[in-house]
Copies of this chain bind each other. A is one copy, B any other.
């Protein structure tokens, strides 16, 4: 936390304790709403609603609410009455308001939409129809556009008359049926004669996204073309809304977090649960129990080799290193493939090269690790054959792991399952199984030299 914020937090807490509420309201009026939202992260469940009630400007309260995690904003809203919620929602951007409404208890949401002006509630209900993770779900609907038959003078006039609309830096141009036909920069308006018709100066190649496009895809478009906003159109190219790049940043962070959580066998839904241990445990347990089942299978396989183990007890010393290294290498390959899929750097057409690369890398690492552990085994138990068995098993296990690390996420992607879940726990459990099989099969083959 920056120092400035640290001091602000301390002051806020002190004033809260003292009950110096009017001082606090004054303080809140002076700091940036983004800083207020940031403060909330560090406040406890009692301080949060208290401070929220002290924000005097409904615009600021709305802004803060939109920035907070769903878990926190839900708790704050639960303490307000309908009229207060209504006022807040009316002071927020429509897309943020829709987000809030979506997370209200169903009955309350319906009541509040009923209290709104028809126009407002219709827009919000329209927004609610789009999937949360689609372009429609994240777009702003307060969009400023210009008809193609306007002159530059008229366009500037319209711009001067426009109220508070989503930031204007690209000006979107439509035909009489609201179809998106062109785009202009504000600066262009200043550099041509006032009588020019927009149609004649607009750029006709507008990059736009469809209202049902997945938000990750939207992020990729914005990123690829380095644009600051992208207009959203429906299936007939009618202009529906606008997504600015600050929304895209949120998407990119969220998706990265989601992937990272999934790779570790957790779920980003946890973020909504705050500190509720039971619910979090319930989210993580199914996956954990699946892995438990995998672990029991690995154990069963070891059990099948109990004669070999009892015979040559030294073999047990290398079980952890063989399964562990297989897991590490497989996890690396899987992670690289999963991340490559997510960023678009890897797709089905480059996959063969990636697979071959990971196999080559696996071969090199397998030989180095195999040689190392083989020498360790030889030196430790004074049996060159044990060294040979351990070394061969390690080399083979690492190669299998690298290959599986590429193939598992690919397989999941092919069958339409998020490849991220194929990363760490899955690949690791699978590699435990293959590692044990490889190790003890090799040992059984060489058993007569191991005594």
Contacts and interface: CB of A to CB of B under 8 A. Distances in A.
B325 A323 contact: no
Copies of this chain in its oligomeric complex: 2
A1 interface: yes
A316 B317 contact: no
Interface string A331-353: 11011100100010101011001
Contact of A257 (B332, B339, B357): B339
Interface in A417-446: 423-425, 428-429, 432, 436
Given A186-B186, A260-B263, A288 B369 contact: yes
Interface string A231-252: 0000000000000111011101
Contacts of A322: 295
Given A245-B249, A253-B223, A289 B319 contact: no
A405 to B, nearest CB: 10
Interface in A263-281: 263-266, 270-271, 275, 277-278, 280-281
B320 A314 contact: no
Interface string A186-219: 1100110000000000000101000000000001
Given A190-B159, A245-B245, A278-B364, A319 B292 contact: no
A219 B339 CA distance: 20
The bracket for how many chain A residues form the interface is 35 or more
B259 A325 contact: no
Contacts of A334: 264
A48 interface: no
B320 A284 contact: no
A424 B327 CA distance: 10
B368 A285 contact: yes
Contact of A316 (B223, B316, B360): B316
A361 interface: yes
Interface stretch (A18-26, A99-107, A129-137, A300-308): A300-308
A361 B281 contact: yes
Contact of A365 (B281, B295, B357): B281
A321 interface: yes
Interface stretch (A34-42, A79-87, A110-118, A172-180): A34-42
Given A299-B317, A335-B266, A257 B343 contact: yes
Nearest to A316: B302
Contact of A335 (B187, B263, B324, B364): B263
Nearest to A338: B260
A365 to B, nearest CB: 5
B436 A361 contact: no
Contacts of A228: 167, 169, 228, 244-246
B335 A225 contact: no
Nearest to A349: B42
A296 interface: yes
A281 B187 contact: no
B265 A432 contact: no
A302 B222 CA distance: 54
A32 B206 CA distance: 11
B323 A320 contact: yes
Contacts of A280: 357, 361
Contact of A425 (B227, B302, B318, B331): B331
A336 B261 contact: yes
A156 interface: yes
A288 B252 contact: no
A257 B336 CA distance: 9
A366 to B, nearest CB: 9
Nearest to A373: B292
Given A223-B246, A271-B345, A288-B369, 18 more contacts: A1-B349, A42-B349, A168-B187, A169-B186, A260-B339, A261-B336, A263-B263, A264-B331, A281-B365, A288-B329, A291-B325, A292-B325, A295-B320, A299-B319, A303-B314, A316-B316, A320-B436, A331-B424
22 contacts: A34-B225, A168-B187, A228-B244, A253-B343, A264-B331, A264-B332, A265-B328, A277-B363, A280-B361, A284-B332, A284-B361, A285-B365, A288-B369, A289-B368, A292-B325, A292-B372, A295-B322, A296-B318, A298-B324, A309-B313, A324-B432, A327-B428
